[in-house]
Amino acid sequence: MKKIALYTIQSINYGNRLQNYATQEILKSMGYDVYTLRNNPKNSEIAVIIKLHPFMKLVKPILPLVWKIKVIIWGFMKIDKDNNYRLFNKKIKFSADYIGENGVSDDLGKYDVIIAGSDQIWNTEFEFVTENSFFPFEHPCKVSFSSSFGIDEIKDDKKIVECLKKFKALSVREEAGAKIIKKLTGRDAEVLIDPTLLLSEKKWRMISKKPKGHVDMPFILTYFLSPKCKEANEQLSRLAESGMNIYELFDEKNVVTRCVGPAEFIYLIDHASIILTDSFHACVFSFLFDKPFIVYNRNRGGNTMNSRLSTLLKKFKIERKYVMSELDNDIWEHDYTEGYEQLEIEKAKALNFLKSALEDGVKN
C-alpha cells in the first residue's frame, strides 16, 4: 500500500482537527496508507525540559514514561475541552516524523507522496508558519490539497516562490490563494472545497458526540472567534425572547460548552435550531447539516469578511446568509437545494484533482 504523509496545522481548533480527519478519511478511501506528520518532533516537550534543566539528563531514560503518566493523570483530573481534543486525535494516525518551525525529519523519502493541506498552513502572519511549511526539501511528489494562505497577499519571498514552483500539483481553498500563487509563480492553482465538505453528513454524524450535560431541548448556538459585533448581539437578544437555551462556545461558565471538542462541536451544530457565527467551519457544517445560520464579520474593525468565507458563500449560492450582504434573508430559511447541487460538482472536482495528482506522483 502506497504511503502518504499529510502536513497540516495541529492545535486546539475545531476546524483544523476536523479537516485533518476528513483529508485522512478521503485518502484512505482511495486506498492509501495515510500518516499525519507532527508539527514538532515527538516528545519535543521532554527535549525542552532537558534543555532548561540539564540535570534532568540523569533521568532521561524514564522521562517518556513519566510524561505519559502525567498526561493520563491530567486527563482524569481535567475532563474538559482539551481532553476531548485528545480523544478526537486518536482517530488520526500520526507519524513520528515531522515538519515544523524547529526543522524537518530526515526520513520523509519513505513516503510516496507528501501533501500540504488543508487549513491556513501558508498564512505567513502565523508565527509557526515558516519556510519549512512550504516544503524546502527535495521530494519527487509534493502536492498541495486545498491549502490556504488565509490572507489576500504575502511578501514576494524568493525562497517561498522556489518552494511553490517545485510542487507537482497545486490547489488552494480560496480564490485569493490562487491569485497569490499565480502572481508569485505564474502557475495556475485549482480552487477546491475544504476537505470537511467531502464527507457526507451521515459520516460526520457517525463520529459526533453528545456533550456532557446537554439536555435535549431547542437551543441557539453561537460560535465567534472574535468579540460579537453589535449586529450579532442585537440578533441574539431578539432570539433570546423565544426562551430557547443559548449555548455560546468559549463560555467557560457553561457546563456544556466548556467541554466541547471537535466531536461535540459537530453534534451541537447538527442539533441547534439556528447558528450565529463568524467562523468558516461553523458555516460549513451548518450548510452540510441543512441548518439556519447567520454569518457576521470578524469584529476587528472594517470589513473583515475573509476570502475563504466569501468563496464558500458565493460558490454554494448562500451569500444571503451573510448579514452584510444586503440580500433578502429570512434567518430561519434554509433551502440550500442549489448549493447541494453545486456541492456534488465540487466534490467530483476535488476527488479528480487528488486522483490525478496522486496517480502521477506514484507512477513517477
Distance CA 150, CA 201 (A): 26
108 and 249 in one domain? no
Whether residue 47 is found in the same domain as residue 180:
yes
Q: What is the pTM of this model?
A: 0.87
Q: Are residues 54 and 83 in the same domain?
A: yes
Model pLDDT, residue 1? 84
What is the extent of the structural domain holding 26?
3-197+346-363
Counting other chains too, the contacts that 132-136 makes at CB distance below 8 Å and 24 or more residues apart are 132/99, 132/100, 132/101, 132/103, 132/104, 133/7, 133/99, 134/159, 134/160, 134/163, 134/164, 135/7, 135/99, 135/163, 135/166, 135/167, 136/104, 136/163
Q: What is the pLDDT of residue 311?
A: 87
Same domain, yes or no: 33 and 178: yes
Cα 353 to Cα 145: distance, rounded to the nearest angstrom: 9
Task: Tell me how many domains the chain contains.
Answer: 2
pLDDT of residue 49: 38
- Considering the domain architecture, whether residues 219 and 353 belong to the same structural domain is answered as no
Per-residue pLDDT 10s for the chain (364 aa) are 899 999 999 888 999 999 999 999 999 999 999 999 998 765 444 343 334 344 444 555 655 565 556 555 545 444 578 889 999 999 999 998 999 877 898 889 999 999 998 889 999 888 888 889 999 999 999 999 999 998 888 888 899 999 999 999 999 999 999 999 999 999 999 999 999 999 999 999 999 999 999 989 999 999 999 999 999 999 999 999 999 999 999 888 898 998 899 999 999 999 999 999 999 999 999 999 999 999 998 876 544 557 788 889 999 999 999 998 888 989 999 999 999 999 999 999 999 999 999 987 665 5
Give residue 301's pLDDT. Answer: 54
Same domain, 185 and 316: no
Could you give the CA distance from residue 114 to residue 33 in angstroms, rounded to a whole number?
Answer: 12
Per-residue confidence (pLDDT) for residue 14, from 0 to 100: 95
Q: What beta strand segments (E) does 1-153 contain?
A: 3-7, 33-38, 94-100, 103-104, 113-116, 142-144
Burial (0-12, 13-18, 19+ Cβ within 10 Å), 230: exposed
Do residues 218 and 247 make contact, with C-beta atoms less than 8 angstroms apart? no
Report the CATH number at residue 13.
3.40.50
Looking at the domain assignment, is residue 160 inside a domain? yes
Predicted pLDDT at 52: 39
| CA gap 257, 251 in Å, rounded | 6
DSSP state letter for 240 = H
Q: Are 2 and 362 in contact (CB under 8 A)?
A: yes
Q: Which three cell numbers stand for residue 334?
A: 434554509
Cell of 150: 488565509
pLDDT of residue 293: 98
Amino acid in the structure at residue 148:
S
C-alpha cell at 215: 439536555
